[in-house]
Amino acid sequence: MSSPHDLLVASLPGPPEPAPEDTQALLERARAGDRSSANQLFGRYTERLRRIVIVRLGPRIRRYVESEDLVQETLCAALASLERGALPAERDLLDWLAGVATNRIRDLADHLEAAKRDVGRTEPLVPGTSTSPGPDPLDSQASPSEEAFQGELRVLLDELVWRLPEGHREVVLLRDYQGTEWERIAERLGTPSVHAAQQLHQRAWIKLRAMAVPRLADLQG
């Protein structure tokens, strides 16, 4: 039987990042106005972005806005920035997309807080409650039952990451969902060193594995 660590790591989002030279070529063609290249470029980051959005939304905000709507809104903003020549370098692209989505989520959270103070405003921000990641399109060799189990694992991991304390959640999102370099993670989190950021990441995964044990027993039972 696979360990909680193995199952959780296997449930992290998306395939490995494409070769930088390939991504750079797509980015250059997209900047030159090739919409097909832009769609292909952004498509490489959509799954990771969707998982980041799901975690950052959390269950409360997901009652009011669909994660897919926010992902599409972010990609539309990316296309608009591309047309203005304001898109970042390829190594920063996922971080930039995640930042756009995160700022929008903060706006939604502020809107909800304001709505709570206004008794007359109880309608959802955007109708819909879709929250679960779909099957991994690259996992075509899996049987239907395996795909269902893998989907449940992805949902579980995203939920557990959301439940982590803020610092632990941030280091997992940055390192494991966004693939951010350790130096940048240390700077972003304000830790005194890369080693301190790595220790924080290790503690976060210890907590994740402990939280996952009873839930995984239910899934596997």
Model confidence over 69-127: pLDDT tens digits?
999 999 988 888 887 877 777 678 888 899 999 999 998 888 887 877 765 554 444 43
Average pLDDT estimate for 197-209: 97
Q: Looking at residue 86, what is its pLDDT?
A: 73
Are the CB atoms for 56 and 173 separated by under 8 Å?
yes
Q: Looking at residue 141, what is its pLDDT?
A: 61
Buried b or exposed e, range 193-215, using 16+ CB within 10 angstroms: eeeebbebbeebbebbbebbeeb
| pLDDT band, very low/low/confident/very high, at 183 (cuts 50, 70, 90) | very high
> What single letter denotes the amino acid at residue 73?
E
Query: What angle (nearest 5°) sits at the alpha carbon of residue 152, between those of residues 50 and 205?
Result: 75
pTM: 0.81
C-alpha dihedral over 5, 8, 11, 17, to 10 degrees? -60
Q: Looking at residue 136, what is its pLDDT?
A: 42
Question: Does residue 57 carry a pLDDT above 70?
Answer: yes
Mean pLDDT (the chain) is 83
Buried b or exposed e, range 33-68, using 16+ CB within 10 angstroms: eeeebbeebbebbbbbbbbbbbbbbbeebbebbbbb
Report pLDDT digits (tens) over 116-127: 776 555 444 443
Q: Looking at residue 33, what is its pLDDT?
A: 83
| pLDDT band, very low/low/confident/very high, at 15 (cuts 50, 70, 90) | low
Query: What is the SS3 assignment for the chain?
Result: CCCHHHHHHHCCCCCCCCCHHHHHHHHHHHHCCCHHHHHHHHHHHHHHHHHHHHHHHHHHHHCCCCHHHHHHHHHHHHHHHHHCCCCCCHHHHHHHHHHHHHHHHHHHHHHHHHHHHCCCCCCCCCCCCCCCCCCCCCCCCCCHHHHHHHHHHHHHHHHHHHHCCHHHHHHHHHHHHCCCCHHHHHHHHCCCCHHHHHHHHHHHHHHHHHHHHHHHHHHHC
Question: Does residue 132 carry a pLDDT above 60?
Answer: no
Question: Does residue 134 carry a pLDDT above 60?
Answer: no
What is the token pair recorded at 41? Answer: 């470029």
Q: What sign for the dihedral angle of Cα 115, 116, 117, 118?
A: positive
Q: Looking at residue 135, what is its pLDDT?
A: 37
